[in-house]
Structure 1
Amino acid sequence: MHVHTWRCRHGHGTAAEYVKAAARRGISVLGFAEHLPLPEELLTRDPQAVSYAMPGAELPEYLAEVRVAAESSAASGGPRVLLGLEVDLHPGNEEHVRQMLSGIEVDFVLGSVHYIDGWAFDDPDRQDGYERWSTDALWERYFADLIAAVRSGLADVIAHADLVKKFCRLPARDPFELYAAFAEAAADAGAAVEVSTAGLRKPCAEIYPSEALLRMLHDRGVPVTIGSDAHAPSEVGHAYEQAVEALRRVGYRSAVIVAGRRMEEVSL
């Protein structure tokens, strides 16, 4: 439920190549979630952002490409292909997302937070920004923004929920209260939360979200999706079995896919 093509400018592979990789891997449902184009104001203020998402002019091409891949895969007995978008829901960007989604038919929308006060905190080339924050304050701000994102109602699924741990910058205090507040917000909003194996490929070397947060999500009845956040066809389905094991450990017996903006439960 989370792969990116070359169009994001920091990934590789076409939609057709991803479908072939998923078929080889034995995956039955594949969800494309290309990054929604960023607003011109942000691109002007932060020139590096051109490498974070596809340009606005390519959005129709992306939608068409995935639809063609879906038809081709269905005709050949391949994976069920779902058309999605990953949208940045940092404060102030909600109206841009709302306008961009207006009139577009997709199967699902992933919501994520990559920016804090204009700083792309998960970019490995911009880690100097961490020196301007105490880690506790950064975590508090990140989860406040994530809670606002889920409450916006714009996303079906919240992606890589504890992304702030990516570079092993961990708070001195127990993040229990932050996790609990987010889990409550997700439950109240009726949103799903992604279990992403991408964290295993990052310095934190841990699935997003942590097991402690995942357990809270389960206890509050929050549904989950499974994703690799693949940026190359070779990463499709990465560590899928570990994601399933993590879910089972905390009590999950099913995950969901989202098609036509509706959740469909799938047994683990």
Structure 2
Amino acid sequence: MKFDLHTHNERCGHATGTIRHYVDAAVDAGLSVIGISDHSPYFYSEQDQLFPGIAMAKSAFAAYVEEVLGLKKEYADKIEVLLGVESDFFPEHLDLYRSMYEKYPFDYIIGSVHLSGGVSIFNKNRWKGLDDAEHIVHKETYYDLIQQSARAGLFQILGHIDAMKGFYPAFSDIPTPKVDETLKVIADEDVAIEINTSGKTKTVGGWYPSDLILERALHYGVKVTFGSDAHVPQRVGDDFELVSKRLKEIGFKEWCFFRNKERVLVTL
């Protein structure tokens, strides 16, 4: 059974294709389940669309939900379409985001840390001129935020939990026990993590998270799911079979997707 829970579309401003294009691509790729999970609006902003090239407008959110629900009905005999969203995690605005999501029948919400210390996790300039101790501080600040997102009680899935390595591969080698500590928190909170294959499109050239993190995740009993993080329809389901094979080699027996915020286990 093939599924992909992490896809975007033109509403966010940096993906191409309509939601229908992604659903059709999933059908063509032989998927049984496709999740639509575009970037949530910046609900805290007074502006309708604070960053047009990053996330959809607040005024577009209800129409986004309506469109996904319409496609869910239309394609019911071809593929299961799930309503999701990739939510930025801002601890100071958690209650606001929670209140916005409660209005809609989401199958799942992906919680992703995209900003750490007020700087994009993908900004490679953040590492310039830092000594070893400062590298550790940046990495631990990032994982502190991921721990908070796991404890928030809002997310079924945590997105790309080592994506800070995307344009700075040396991130993975910064020594800290914080990664293991974070995996234990995720397991204790019973939140899933995704294997996100979009890392292959970045400098690091590999999936999120690393095999080492996946091995530790298995040790702690963390549940896993799959997401291509497709920003073009052609990447829907990208590397699904390879990820499945690698997970079995690591020792995983199952992974999961979410329907009505309930975990559905799938044997590998």
TM-score of the aligned structures, taking structure 2 as reference length: 0.91
Match of 2:64 among 62, 65, 68: 62
Counterpart-to-counterpart distance in 2, 1:65 and 1:40? 24
Aligned residue number for residue 131 of structure 1: 128
Counterpart-to-counterpart distance in 1, 2:129 and 2:151? 28
- Over the matched positions of the two proteins, sequence identity in percent amounts to 29
SS at 1:93's partner residue?
Answer: helix
The C-alpha deviation readout for 1:115-158, integer Å capped at 9, x for no partner, is 12322232xxx443333754322111111111111111110000
C-alpha displacement at 1:90, in angstroms? Answer: 3.3
Gaps of 5+ in 1: none
Aligned residue number for residue 24 of structure 1: 28
The C-alpha deviation readout for 1:201-255, integer Å capped at 9, x for no partner, is 2111111111111111111221111110001111101111221122112111211
Query: Is the contact between residue 157 and residue 194 of structure 1 (CA under 8 Å) also seen in structure 2?
Result: yes
Letter in 2 for 1:99: S
Residues 1:261 and 2:258 are matched in the alignment: no
Q: Counterparts in 2 of 1:1-268, with a 5 A limit?
A: 1-41=5-45, 49-74=51-76, 77-122=77-122, 126-131=123-128, 134-171=134-171, 173-175=174-176, 177-268=177-268
Query: Is the contact between residue 88 and residue 97 of structure 1 (CA under 8 Å) also seen in structure 2?
Result: no
TM-score of the aligned structures, taking structure 1 as reference length: 0.91
C-alpha displacement at 1:82, in angstroms? Answer: 0.4
Counterpart-to-counterpart distance in 2, 1:224 and 1:42? 36
Query: Is the contact between residue 113 and residue 145 of structure 1 (CA under 8 Å) also seen in structure 2?
Result: yes
C-alpha displacement at 1:169, in angstroms? Answer: 4.4
SS at 2:69's partner residue?
Answer: helix
Counterpart-to-counterpart distance in 2, 1:249 and 1:263? 23
Letter in 2 for 1:70: K
Counterpart-to-counterpart distance in 2, 1:157 and 1:16? 23
- Greater mean alpha carbon deviation, residues 131-140 or residues 212-221: 131-140
C-alpha displacement at 1:42, in angstroms? Answer: 8.5
Letter in 1 for 2:57: P
Query: Is the contact between residue 44 and residue 96 of structure 2 (CA under 8 Å) also seen in structure 1?
Result: no
Query: Is the contact between residue 135 and residue 169 of structure 1 (CA under 8 Å) also seen in structure 2?
Result: no
Counterpart-to-counterpart distance in 2, 1:70 and 1:209? 30
Counterpart-to-counterpart distance in 2, 1:120 and 1:158? 17
SS at 2:7's partner residue?
Answer: coil
Distance 1:205 1:145, change over 3 A: same
Counterpart-to-counterpart distance in 2, 1:128 and 1:164? 12
Letter in 1 for 2:38: E
Counterpart-to-counterpart distance in 2, 1:193 and 1:204? 19
Coordinate RMSD, CA, aligned: 1.9
Letter in 2 for 1:55: A
The C-alpha deviation readout for 1:44-63, integer Å capped at 9, x for no partner, is 9x96x332111000011100
Counterpart-to-counterpart distance in 2, 1:211 and 1:128? 26
SS at 1:174's partner residue?
Answer: coil
